[in-house]
Structure 1
Amino acid sequence: MAAKGFAKFIIVLTTVTAAVMELIDTSIVNVALSDMAGSLGVSIEDISWVITSYAIANVIIIPLTGFLAEYFGRKRYYLASMIIFTLASYMCGESSSLMEIIIWRFVQGIGGGALLSTSQAILFDAFEPKDRPIASGLFGMGLVLGPTLGPTLGGYLIEHTSWPMIFMINVPIGVIATMLTYTFIEKKPNEGKNKKNIHIDYNGILLLAAGIGCLQFVLERGESEDWFSSDVIKVTAVVAVVALIGFIIYELRIKNPAVNLRVLGNRNLAFTTIFTFVVGLGLFTSVFVYPVLAQRVLGYTAYETGVALLPPTLIGVLMMPIIGKSMAKGVPAIPFVVVGLLLFAAYSWTTALLSPDVGKWAFFFPLALRAFGISMVQLPLINQAVAGLQPKDYPAGIALNNMIRQLGGAFGIALANNYIAHRYAQHRTDLVANVADGAPLFTERTNSIAQGLIGKTGADIQSATHTAHAMISGMIDKQAYYLSYLDTFRLIALFFVIVIPLVVFLKSKKKSAEEEAAAAAAISEAH
């Protein structure tokens, strides 16, 4: 039953805040990676596990939220998830080792996955069916704003406090949201009372967790472990393959699977998940790579990095309700998807053309393209996920689509880490070849720097030359990293361009009023 008056306002405020808080935590650590790596004594590549562990937990829990909410009762499950998220946030801030923070980030992701999925279900129930496009628009704005607001907020906190505060800030918000949820959000009729009729697919859950976890480990650690020359990589790769194949076979054979893979027999949903995977890859990877590029190479502070992301993102936020209203009036989703993919590809490619000495606002136009691209594919892909499905299959289709988006993000970050490491080594080798002892330009630059140091510090020629060599080595490192980041943006653009022709396999079906209502309910239950 739809809420009224002040209760409705509180429900909107609580659910949107909880969802945005969860989305912020997918990206808030991105601008803090350098500080966290230095504090914990690890590399940037190692600390990226803090991002990946959160994404893996989301991938595992999102397709299970519908079942868990039904089993425990939606309000009880929502409250428990909020408490888990808040407690894990506190423990992340208190962590003093890499392994400790990775574990707590995983726990945080388990709680956070429910905040995202269940928040929209509760939000939709607060509105009458005819007003649910408004709820969809509100939630869609959060989907766009959350991941990009993270670096801005994180940058401000890093500049004025320290990295643990990016987690501690969740604590007071989580406590207030928990109190408001307990007070104002009502239980659904009979929720949590049908446990005896609900089958728990323990085997499917374990196979999914083992398969995704081991696959992500292989992707993350493969480069540093020299791939299959490492016994650990060999074992985890075998476990990933066996578990994922076993998961697919098992889920297709049982009556009540944890993840209903049978819906992928629908061609439209099968191809929609491909687009969703690529969009997740682009969204999460771009929000990971750009902050590291801006800080490691361009010399931006954490706050400057976040601020650069915010203004163009607000453009995308404003676009969401416009797109939602257009689709409600009958504009098909497919043109939005095509234009959005092209804009995201254009963002990646134009970013790859920028030189390392550009001003801070040079990224505004590419980032604006990214914001437009994201806003134009988010809601249309949700719509396409259920186009052609039977109403009874809507929840399974949407839940699976959401899982694929998170999986694309986790895969993208791992891919970016490996690709950057590979391209950095290649670019550094190429650059070093041009600075061998005796090379005229190298000798000239060394002498110029050394003479400057002697003039400023009074150093002797030997120490000045040694310092000059170290400075040139640092310049080479910086240039090699910059070129590797540009290569990564080109790779992202390539993914988007490659999938565009697949739109011919999508179909746009005009739904009846009954189907629209069923789709809205399905999004409420599964998203």
Structure 2
Amino acid sequence: MTPLQRKLLILTVILAAIMELIDISIVNVALSHMSGNLGATLEDTSWVITAYAIANVIIIPITSFLSANLGRRNYYIGSVILFTFCSFMCGHSSNIWMLVFFRFFQGIGGGALLSISQVVVFELFPKDKQSTAGALFGAGIFIGPTIGPTLGGYITENYDWPWIFLINIPIGILVTISCIFLLKEPPVKPEIAKVDWVGIALLAIGVGALQTVLERGEVEDWFETRYIVVLAVIASISLLTFIYWELTIDKPVVNLKVLKSKSLSIAAILTFVTGFGMFISIYISPVVAQRLLSFSPYQTGLLLLPGALFALVALKLCGTLLQKGVSPVLIIAAGFLLFIYFNWRMSEITLDTSAFEVSTALIFRALGMALLTVPLTMLAVSSLDDKDVGQGAALNNMMRQLGGSFGVSIINTYIAHRFAEHRNVLISNVTLDNTKAMNRINGYINYFQHRGFAYNEARSKALKLMENIVTRQSSLLSYRDAFLFVGLFFVITLPLLLLVMNKSKKPKTNIILSDH
């Protein structure tokens, strides 16, 4: 391979990874538009995010198997084609469930783009340049989340939400053509292993059923609805059977035995919480900005941009600290504290909070995420044998996706519950005995009467306006509670780091990077 071909291939696979990462965050600022355009509730529309996350959870553990059995070149190019085709179909979806269906398979295709792209980049650099490869790819994977919300906001505001998916088509075609000519099979062909189809099926059924229970439980009055009960039973049986199956067979798709490592077990819990907080914050922050603070989609996207730029600096600083021997545990603790502070800041917002205040709070979120990304993986594999490092890193990555997919579902239920409680409290204060409430209503009546409406019509409009105010305030309080709820998870799990403070075994940095 000539130097020019090598540079073109590096650019190609990083572009593919950026495309996949953009699609994780680009939809968040367009959820309200999708909801209105497709006639769906925000809760149903959130499946556009969770379906992608579930697909990633299913495909991540079997990526190495598919790469070995289908050939890495064939699997990678096929994944790009699947991702591109499903992007086209997402953009032409006529209802929410059609969109969710193709979004799921877009996630299946996208599962290979990040992990295999990273492996290819590291193969193209000599051993003494691995840190350069890591920095190059690290910058690339932050470009996606950096420009995703801003790009999504600009497209939604100036064109229409389907274009957030259709924009992938020319990029996907370009990547496919480039890979056909440049991408080769790895120099050492991996051993072909028998796939654990039973484990994959149990995981997919269990996660899918549990996700549906979490997503639809609040709407369907939980266990008062038959299909929710059935799915809860299916989820319990499938996941318990999955654990038993994976612990008893020789070649499990997810080697749960590596969880005997205390550092991996604790890292997996912390990674789950990180995914939980990361996905929830990137999901509800744009909703709050648009629905409560009345920001446009493009303004909402810009709110996330400064934090993402700061995260690039923090990522470089994190790498420098790790190379100098600073314990990953200390960096993880700093990341958790930053994220706790972010949630506390967001729990204090009002309907008059400025864009600057929100954007500043989001900077702390981005800094926290940047400090958690690599150190958590390093902690996860720090005490594993070399043969178990790949499985440990994959399991850790899967926990992040699980945390994210469950988090979005759980937070919708939590927000709905808190909204109902806050609304009941606020509406109970709008009575004839409450002088302030009556004065406000009478003021609205006078306003509408001066606008030419008769008393009865003016009174009806005044009561409706009061109802809207109560609803908006209830929504604000419920979202503030949601940020506190997420922050509490970080506070509760932070002390777990005390159990791994003395880990000093040198982490397998090169392997981590290729599996991260």
State the TM-score, normalizing by the size of structure 1.
0.95
Q: Which runs of 4+ in 1 moved over 4 A?
A: none
Q: 1:90 aligns with which of 88, 91, 100?
A: 88
Alignment of 1:410-421 (within 5 A): 410-421=405-416
Give the Cα–Cα distance (whole angstroms) in 2 for the partners of residues 383 and 134 of structure 1: 18
Match of 1:117 in 2: 115
Match of 2:435 in 1: 440
Q: CA deviation at 1:67?
A: 1.3
Bigger drift between 446-455 and 93-102 goes to 446-455
The reply on whether 1:253 has 2:251 as its aligned counterpart is: no
Q: CA deviation at 1:342?
A: 0.4
The reply on whether 1:361 has 2:356 as its aligned counterpart is: yes
Deviations 1:491-512 (A, max 9, x none): 111111111110122243342x
Give the Cα–Cα distance (whole angstroms) in 1 for the partners of residues 332 and 392 of structure 2: 18
Match of 1:72 in 2: 70
The residue type paired with residue 476 of structure 1 is: V
Match of 2:387 in 1: 392
Match of 1:108 in 2: 106
The residue type paired with residue 432 of structure 1 is: I
SS of the equivalent of 2:160 reads coil
Give the Cα–Cα distance (whole angstroms) in 2 for the partners of residues 134 and 325 of structure 1: 12
Q: 2:27 aligns with which of 11, 26, 29?
A: 29
Contact 1:140 1:379 in 2 (8 A): no
Alignment of 1:313-332 (within 5 A): 313-332=308-327
Deviations 1:256-278 (A, max 9, x none): 11111111111110110011001
Match of 1:509 in 2: 504
Match of 1:520 in 2: 510
Deviations 1:336-387 (A, max 9, x none): 0000000000000111112220211111321111111111111111111210
Give the Cα–Cα distance (whole angstroms) in 2 for the partners of residues 500 and 4 of structure 1: 49
Bigger drift between 135-144 and 356-365 goes to 135-144
The reply on whether 1:484 has 2:478 as its aligned counterpart is: yes
Deviations 1:368-423 (A, max 9, x none): 11111111111111111210111111110011011000001011111110110000
SS of the equivalent of 1:95 reads coil
Give the Cα–Cα distance (whole angstroms) in 2 for the partners of residues 263 and 181 of structure 1: 35
Q: 1:306 aligns with which of 284, 290, 301?
A: 301
SS of the equivalent of 1:188 reads coil
Deviations 1:139-160 (A, max 9, x none): 3334444335322111100000
The reply on whether 1:401 has 2:391 as its aligned counterpart is: no
Match of 2:201 in 1: 206
C-alpha distance 225-142 of structure 1, shift in aligned 2 (>3 A): farther
Contact 1:144 1:375 in 2 (8 A): no
Deviations 1:157-199 (A, max 9, x none): 000001111110111111111112222222113648x65xx21
Contact 1:155 1:304 in 2 (8 A): yes
The residue type paired with residue 503 of structure 1 is: L
Q: CA deviation at 1:110?
A: 0.4
The residue type paired with residue 309 of structure 1 is: L
Contact 1:423 1:487 in 2 (8 A): yes
Q: CA deviation at 1:472?
A: 1.1
Contact 1:74 1:191 in 2 (8 A): no
Contact 2:347 2:484 in 1 (8 A): yes
Q: Percent identity between the aligned chains? A: 44
Match of 2:468 in 1: 474
Q: CA deviation at 1:136?
A: 2.0
Give the Cα–Cα distance (whole angstroms) in 1 for the partners of residues 130 and 247 of structure 2: 33
SS of the equivalent of 2:218 reads coil
C-alpha distance 488-274 of structure 1, shift in aligned 2 (>3 A): same
Alignment of 1:179-328 (within 5 A): 179-189=177-187, 191=189, 195=192, 198-328=193-323
Give the Cα–Cα distance (whole angstroms) in 1 for the partners of residues 189 and 30 of structure 2: 41
SS of the equivalent of 2:405 reads helix
Contact 1:141 1:318 in 2 (8 A): no
The residue type paired with residue 75 of structure 2 is: Y
Structure 1 gap segments, 5+ residues each: none
Q: 2:333 aligns with which of 335, 338, 353?
A: 338
Contact 2:28 2:282 in 1 (8 A): yes
Contact 2:54 2:208 in 1 (8 A): yes
Q: 1:351 aligns with which of 346, 355, 366?
A: 346
C-alpha distance 4-136 of structure 1, shift in aligned 2 (>3 A): farther
Give the Cα–Cα distance (whole angstroms) in 1 for the partners of residues 130 and 320 of structure 2: 11
SS of the equivalent of 1:363 reads helix
SS of the equivalent of 2:206 reads helix
The reply on whether 1:461 has 2:459 as its aligned counterpart is: no
SS of the equivalent of 2:175 reads helix
Give the Cα–Cα distance (whole angstroms) in 2 for the partners of residues 66 and 509 of structure 1: 29
Contact 2:377 2:512 in 1 (8 A): no
Contact 2:378 2:512 in 1 (8 A): no
Match of 1:17 in 2: 15
Q: CA deviation at 1:431?
A: 0.6
State the TM-score, normalizing by the size of structure 2.
0.97
The residue type paired with residue 51 of structure 2 is: S
Structure 2 gap segments, 5+ residues each: none
Contact 1:54 1:109 in 2 (8 A): yes
Contact 1:351 1:363 in 2 (8 A): yes
Contact 2:203 2:239 in 1 (8 A): yes
Root-mean-square deviation (Å): 1.6
Deviations 1:297-329 (A, max 9, x none): 111111110101101210011221221122123
Q: CA deviation at 1:4?
A: 6.1
